[in-house]
A and B are shown apart, each in its own frame.
Chain A
Amino acid sequence: DQQVKQNSPSLSVQEGRISILNCDYTNSMFDYFLWYKKYPAEGPTFLISISSIKDKNEDGRFTVFLNKSAKHLSLHIVPSQPGDSAVYFCAASGEEYGNKLVFGAGTILRVKS
């Protein structure tokens, strides 16, 4: 009963193109969403977040879109760079969850040069 799902285990993109990573959630009580990036042998690092009162948040090459009615969010990376190759985790939280994050299983992004 995964509450946060990343249905694509991996994604391969050419350098300079757009990378789109998707995430679906089931619990309508989630009101804060995050993306973390993880390199091998390192811990996840925070990338970008969005609260449920917004439908878009942008930070440089990274944009997160939230569609509450569809319970879906996506991370767009434009343009993709080889250094973006990593595992990307979608995470969610909400007031009833306190501080804990509920993560998806991750998507491996490979950016080819």
Chain B
Amino acid sequence: EAGVTQFPSHSVIEKGQTVTLRCDPISGHDNLYWYRRVMGKEIKFLLHFVKESKQDESGMPNNRFLAERTGGTYSTLKVQPAELEDSGVYFCASSHAGGWDEQFFGPGTRLTVL
């Protein structure tokens, strides 16, 4: 069974540009999460989908970030316009059920904003 996949693995863009990150969860996992790790600090929660609905988006930094999960399968996270402080590694995770069900993480997308 394939794990969580993320695309691209790396992205380098200039300040003001737009970037879209994609996450494909494990098949059958209704729960999908986005996290971000900035400059070797802690991994921070961004938001949580249950199927196509946003269950919790309390960690989204500001309205430059837009996450979607149309059809309840893959998810995209768009940053528009990107700022320098958006640089970091963006992780996606999925789980079959909620609660304390194990979250399986993807390899992450390293975003560098110049």
List A residues at the B interface (Cβ < 8 Å).
Answer: 2, 4, 32, 36, 41-46, 49, 51, 89, 91, 93, 98-106
Contacts and interface: CB of A to CB of B under 8 A. Distances in A.
B102 interface: yes
A3 to B, nearest CB: 9
| Interface range on chain B (Cβ under 8 Å from partner) | 20 to 34
Interface stretch (B11-19, B63-71, B73-81, B105-113): B105-113
A99 B107 contact: no
Contact of B48 (A46, A91, A98, A106): A98
Contact of B93 (A43, A49, A102, A106): A43
A98 B105 contact: no
Contacts of A51: 100
B105 A99 contact: no
Q: 10 shortest A-B CB distances, which residue pairs? A: A43-B105, A103-B43, A100-B45, A105-B42, A103-B42, A44-B105, A43-B107, A99-B98, A43-B106, A46-B102
B95 interface: yes
A99 B93 CA distance: 11
Interface in B1-49: 4, 9, 31, 33, 35, 40-45, 48
A100 B4 contact: no
Contacts of B55: 98-99
A49 B41 contact: no
